Amino acid sequence: MIDGCPPESGKSFLKKINSLSIRPDEIKLIVLTHGDPDHAGSSKEIKEITGARIAIHEYDRKNLEEGINNWPPGVTTWGKITHFLLYPILMKRISIPPVHADVILHQEEFSLEQYGIKGRIIYTPGHTPGSVSVLLDSGEAFVGCLAHIGFPFTFYPVLPIYAEDIAEIKKSWDILITQGAKMIYPGHGNPFPVEKILKYL
């Protein structure tokens, strides 16, 4: 499983996997692309439901294990405006219930073969210091917030409108493209072919 859903998503998570005929105990690993509340907020609840291990990069581990709210700053005009308007509201309403991380990721790649998946976890910082992506051998890449598409971000694929380091974002994209990323699955919005992001690089 990639990412741990926004806070209080346990019931919707169970409803979704039931509709896909997936038993909770079939999920063995929850890979958090980063430690922000909208991607890790229900990690504790889903871990309890599934018994799965949680994997997160060492640089975002503290957010998860100490329940720290994090929202990277805006790096575009729209990003700065929405961050200014929404940050005081959302940071008071959402939080990450603290939970222990089982697999600590580092800069080197992490193979998913032991979980029956032909692919690997790749360190792709920029949105947060500990952001990672899952790249399958098929070329499908699950990139978290390495790109944004859809409301309230944009209506077409772009580099993230919130980021700690936009230069690192571009380096991370270079790594993914060099390693064969073809179809991109962002953490927000619909999938798109990698060619749609190339003009921003």
Task: Report pLDDT digits (tens) over 119-178.
Answer: 999 999 999 999 999 999 999 999 999 999 987 778 889 999 999 999 999 999 999 999
Answer whether residue 189 is part of any domain.
Answer: yes
Q: Which two tokens stand for residue 93?
A: 């309403």
Residues 146 and 127: beta-carbon distance below 8 Å: yes
Answer whether residue 59 is part of any domain.
Answer: yes
pLDDT attached to residue 155 = 83
Q: Given a cut of 80, is residue 4 above it in pLDDT?
A: yes
pLDDT attached to residue 153 = 77
Q: Which two tokens stand for residue 74?
A: 């805006």
Higher pLDDT, 155 or 37: 37
- What is the extent of the structural domain holding 157? 10-198
Q: How many domains does the chain have?
A: 1
Model confidence band, residue 29 (pLDDT cutoffs 50, 70, 90): very high
Q: For the domain that residue 72 is a member of, what is the CATH number?
A: 3.60.15.10
Answer whether residue 193 is part of any domain.
Answer: yes
H helix or E strand, kind and range, residue 201: none
Answer whether residue 150 is part of any domain.
Answer: yes
Answer whether residue 1 is part of any domain.
Answer: no
DSSP labels for 127-190?
SSTT-EEEEETTSEEEEETSSEEETTTEEEEES-SB-S-HHHHHHHHHHHHHTT--EEEESSS-
Answer whether residue 3 is part of any domain.
Answer: no
pLDDT attached to residue 81 = 93
pLDDT attached to residue 87 = 82
Q: What are phi and psi of 134, to 5 degrees?
A: -105, 120
Mean pLDDT, the chain, whole residue set: 94
pLDDT attached to residue 52 = 98
Answer whether residue 4 is part of any domain.
Answer: no
Answer whether residue 109 is part of any domain.
Answer: yes
Tell me: the pLDDT tens digits for 66-105? 999 899 999 999 999 998 988 888 777 777 899 999 999 9
